[in-house]
Amino acid sequence: MSTASTPGPLRWVLAATAAVLVAGVAGVVVVVLIAVSVITGGGGGISTLAPVSVPGIHPVLLSAMGQATAQTATVAPGCAGMRWSILAGIGQVESKLAAGHDISPEGRITPAIIGPALDGSGAGGNTTAIYDTDAGRWDADTVYDHAVGAWQFIPSSWQIYGRDGNADGLADPHNVFDNALAAVVHLCGTGPKNLSDPVQLRQAIYGYNRSWTYVSQVLAAITTFDQIGLAAGGAAVSEASGRAAVIIAAARQWTGTPYAWGGGGGRPGTNGTVIGGPSEGFAQGAGTVGFDCSGLTQYAYAAAGIALPRVSSQQALQGIRIPRSAGLQAVAPGDLVFFGTNPSAGTGIYHVAIYLGAGQMIDAPRTGTVVREEAVWMDSYAGAVHIP
């Protein structure tokens, strides 16, 4: 499950450790940790431990990732470079970070996350039947095994990697503190490893799930969470002010409005409805009144007295360009963020959103969705524009 190699270039520096917070049950503790890092020979860095808060991630789950990261030296002494974003990336692909589930203060997930039966039918990507190994204890199935928990362990793997992450005397895959720590053990393996080395990180993720498509999905998610950590700086981002606040407020008032290709514009219609709908001949979503991505940004900027071109590729040519290489820490709330088919070069622009801070944006993503706030898509992030 692991490969040994030499340490990579990153050295991590703990900046602060918050007080231990006692959760709702006696003896169960949640440690909130804050860290920053420096890259040897250069400025900037990636947070190793979780920020205080990340929009869209349950605070108990975030605490579990921070606590598990901090315990790496104890459960895997030869493992360096573990960071919260690695756990978040795995969790995002495996269970969407337990979205739609409740998590108690002590870490118990309700309802339990149980994957499809591994009966060889191909469900869950499995084509070989895995018969019951836990007498149904964790997956409630006495015929086949199922992957369980936020980081999706099959019961036989849980017997190897399962750990008691919250010191309650039980290693329970349905407890996020236990499951997150087990993921650390699995990714780190038993030999020396440095997960700040991209090659070793790829191999560790492949060992977690032997699919290179899976590896690519997880790495894209890790990049997103790394950038969120940098943007958050270990603390909540302050509210936007001035013109940026006007732009963001104008966009947020339409949260939940359907996506409509060709919809939106620089002004509201009668009684506050949005001018525009799907372009002629575009059958999918025909008749929908709402916004497309650039219609939303054009409308929001118009509210602050700024006229933008209609399409995202033209909006990307306005103002002061902020390249992808500068990272989200260079982007201010209210700036436009762009996405392209060749993001490293900043070309092939196909989507635009408004940056909110802390790695989050508000946008109208695509047909079948609504105006919403979500994490910046770092896999296709092509840079930003600041309009002074």
Contact 198, 210 (CB under 8 A): no
| Close Cβ partners of 253 (under 8 Å, ≥ 6 residues apart) | none
CB environment 289-322: b (16+ within 10 A), e (fewer): bbbbbbbbbbbbbbbbebebeebbeebbebbeeb
Among 49-53, 201-205, 301-305, name the most confident range: 201-205
* Domains of the chain in sequence order: 10-107+151-232 (no CATH), 114-147 (no CATH), 242-386 (3.90.1720.10)
Run of H or E residues at 194 = strand 193-194
**What's the average model confidence in pLDDT over 121-132?**
78
**Would strands 102-103 and 109-110 be described as parallel, antiparallel, or unpaired?**
antiparallel
CB atoms closer than 10 angstroms to residue 330:
17
Give the pLDDT of residue 248. Answer: 92
Rounded Cα distance between 345 and 73, Å, is 39
Residue type, 166: N
**Which tokens in the block code for residue 285?**
């979503």
Contact 150, 180 (CB under 8 A): yes
Q: Please, where are the H alpha helices in 52-197?
A: 59-70, 72-75, 84-95, 155-161, 176-188
Q: What is the dihedral of CA 213, 53, 374, 269, to 10 degrees?
A: 180
Rounded Cα distance between 273 and 58, Å, is 34
Contact 262, 277 (CB under 8 A): yes
**Which tokens in the block code for residue 112?**
């339990």
Give the pLDDT of residue 94. Answer: 95
Rounded Cα distance between 60 and 13, Å, is 24
**Which tokens in the block code for residue 64?**
């579990």
Q: Which residue, among 87, 41, 81, 86, has the nearest Cα to 196 in the 3D structure? A: 81
Run of H or E residues at 266 = none
Poorest-confidence range of 117-121, 143-147, 263-267? 263-267
| Percent of the chain predicted with pLDDT > 90 | 54
| Close Cβ partners of 98 (under 8 Å, ≥ 6 residues apart) | 58, 61, 91, 109, 113, 150, 176
Run of H or E residues at 220 = helix 212-232
Give the model's confidence band at 53: pLDDT under 50 very low, under 70 low, under 90 confident, else very high: confident
pTM exceeds 0.85: no
Residue type, 199: V
Contact 4, 193 (CB under 8 A): yes
**What's the average model confidence in pLDDT over 296-312?**
92
**Which tokens in the block code for residue 29?**
């503790």
Give the pLDDT of residue 224. Answer: 82
